[in-house]
Structure formats: C-alpha cells, structure tokens
Amino acid sequence: MAAIKRPAVLLIFVLLLSLVVYGLMNGAIGTSLTSGEGEGTPLLEAPHPHIPPQKIGFPSGKGGESVTSADGFVITNTILSSWVVMIILIGLFYMGTRNMKIVPSGLQNFLEFILESLYNFVQGVAGEENSRKFFPIIATIFLFVMLNAWVGLLPIYPALGFIDHGHMKGHLLRPAGTDLNMPLALALISFVFVEFWGLKLLKLNYLTKFVRLDNLRKGNFAQVPIDLFVGVLELLSEFVRIVSFTFRLFGNMTAGEILLLVITYLVPFVLVLPFYGLELLVGLVQALIFAGLTLVFVVVAVTPHSEEEH
C-alpha cells in the first residue's frame, strides 16, 4: 500500500511544485523580474477593483457599469449574489427540514448542529429567557454574512463577467459584503433590533440611559451637566455603532476581495491557496463579530440600568 501511495504523493508534489514555479515565472512578479519593467506580459491582466457594485444590465443600464446615485432600482452583481446566497440558505434549510426525524442524519444533522451551536451561543450570552426572542435575527445575520463571504471564494465568481474590448469590465457576481449597502442594511437592522427590544422590555426605563434624571431628582445639581453629557454620548454611541458595523464588514470583505485579486495577479497558482484559507476564516470571524456584537448590544439594552450599575 505504501509502495502505491508514495509515487502518487510524489507526483502530486511535483505537479504542485511545477505550478508554483510556473505561477512565479508567469505571474506579475516573475515577468517583471525576468523581462524588465513593462516588457513582459503577465498571465493575468492587472486587476482594476471597483468599489461600487456593478449593474448586470437588468432591468436597465449597461452590464458592468458601476452603480451611481442617479440610478434608480437596478440589479447589481452584489444584489444578485445575495439572492444566490438566500436561495442556497433557504434551499438548504428546506431540504434539511422537509422530513425531520427524531434521530437526525445527513443534512438535518448538519443543520441542527449549526443551529444548536448558534443557539447555545445566544443562550450563553442572553440567558434562557431572552434567547428565543433574539435567536432568529442573530442566526440570520451570522449565516447571511458568512455565506456571502464564502460564496465569493468560488471560482465562478471572478470567472463570469462583462467583456468590453477584450477586458473584463465587471463581474456578474460579486460577494454582497463588498457592497457598502449590504453591511449598512444589516447595521440598520441591528440598530432597530437593539432599540426595539430595549424599548419593548424596559419600556420608558430604556430611555433613562440617554436622559439621566437620577442626580437631578436627588438634588446633585453639580452632576447634572455630566449626566447630560453622558446621555448625549450614549445616544451618539448608538448611532456610531451603525457606522462601525458597516465599515468593519465592508472594509474586511472588500479588502479580502482585493487581496485575492492582487495575489492571483502576482502569483496565479498554488500560493494563492493560503489566502483563500485566510478569507474563509475572515468570513467566519466577521460573521461572528457582527452577530456577536448585535447580541451583546441587545443584551446590554434589555438589562435594567440599576442592575447594570451593580
């Protein structure tokens, strides 16, 4: 058995090494080293990353053009990608829960494992009482962000696009996380979610976080300006979260996308793989951060302030 395995492993190793050498020689780095400045032609053309998403030409506009504020409703490559993710998620859950059994197997088992892990995470932070209320939003944020990041690693994403004069003008599909509007939409949902539960569970007491009247009532007038300032800071921090949520996710996803494009341009084969692995991890971590922070903020929001102080 070892005798059969060894030549196969050796062959794979030689093949990979050849690809590394070929990639190094024919990538942007290799060609600039061997042919001098501006003389050689790298295997892939230099990437021209666009920050705004591109239109796909439906229902209006030209495919591959960046979206502008003048555009009305257009389907962009990031929106299309988010729909793909939605279809995958809904399809997976539909298939997995169609014929549920008390002793799970296959897809049902896999989905139950994911949801149970997420639920335990939510329960660990929010407690038994509130975990059921918060779980759907937190789980959806997690799954949506993670899968949106991961689908971008599929080879079909950079492969399909709009060709203009022999150049790739824009891709048909692009991870939705690289579109500012998607993280912004999630940040707004997270904001509304936190404020909604804060108000619902604490009623008007929730607002005492922003309008602190304790010292005014007790007659500690010297503390009142500080309270006022702290209240404004608290209110501001609620809105700052939207910005931080948005740009954290948008920045990470866009940077990851550009990093992969650039590394592939520099060294087309094999050496790109560690970066793909890194992006898998980044997708998971960003999803956890987005979902985890939303969970922490909502738990803080529904905790009575007197309890918080103790």
Partner 1 sequence: MEDLGFHVPSLVVYLINFTILLSLLYVVGYKPILRMLDQRAESIKDSVEMVDRVREEAAAQQVEMQQQMEEGRQEGQAMLTQAREIAEKIRDEATSKAKQEADEIVAKARESVQKERDEAIDQVRQHFAEIAILAAERVIDRSLDGKTHKDIIEKVLGESADLNRS
Give the interface with partner 1 as residue ranges (CB under 8 A).
Answer: 51-53, 66-69, 71-74, 76, 78-79, 82-83, 86, 89-90, 93-94, 96-97, 100, 102, 104, 111-112, 115-116, 119, 132, 135-137, 139-140, 143-144, 176, 179-182, 184-186, 188-189, 250
Which residue is associated with the tokens 């997420």? Answer: 118
Q: State the minimum distance, in angstroms, from the CB of residue 85 to partner 1.
A: 8
Cα gap 149→284, rounded to integer Å: 8
C-beta of 102 vs 222, nearer to partner 1: 102
Q: State the minimum distance, in angstroms, from the CB of residue 223 to partner 1.
A: 39
Cis peptide before 274 (omega within 30 of 0): no
Q: State the minimum distance, in angstroms, from the CB of residue 234 to partner 1.
A: 25
Q: State the minimum distance, in angstroms, from the CB of residue 126 to partner 1.
A: 15
**Strand partners of residue 164:** 167
Q: How far, rounded to the nearest angstrom, does the alpha carbon of residue 227 sit from its chain's CA centroid?
A: 37
C-beta of 31 vs 82, nearer to partner 1: 82
Q: State the minimum distance, in angstroms, from the CB of residue 192 to partner 1.
A: 10
Q: State the minimum distance, in angstroms, from the CB of residue 183 to partner 1.
A: 9
C-beta of 179 vs 279, nearer to partner 1: 179
Q: State the minimum distance, in angstroms, from the CB of residue 210 to partner 1.
A: 25
Tokens read off for 147: 């899968």
Cα gap 142→249, rounded to integer Å: 12
Question: Which DSSP string do the residues of 114-157 spell out, in sequence order?
Answer: HHHHHHHHHHHHHHHHHHHHHHHHHHHHHHHHHHHHHHTTSTHH
C-beta of 30 vs 175, nearer to partner 1: 175
CA-based R_g, the chain, Å: 25
- Residue 165 φ/ψ region, left for φ over 0, alpha for ψ in the -120 to 50 degree band, beta for the rest: left
C-beta of 76 vs 252, nearer to partner 1: 76
C-beta of 30 vs 161, nearer to partner 1: 161
Which residue is associated with the tokens 């892990």? Answer: 117
CA–CA distance from 214 to each of 201, 210, 220, 300, 308 (Å)?
Answer: 21, 12, 9, 20, 15
C-beta of 71 vs 129, nearer to partner 1: 71
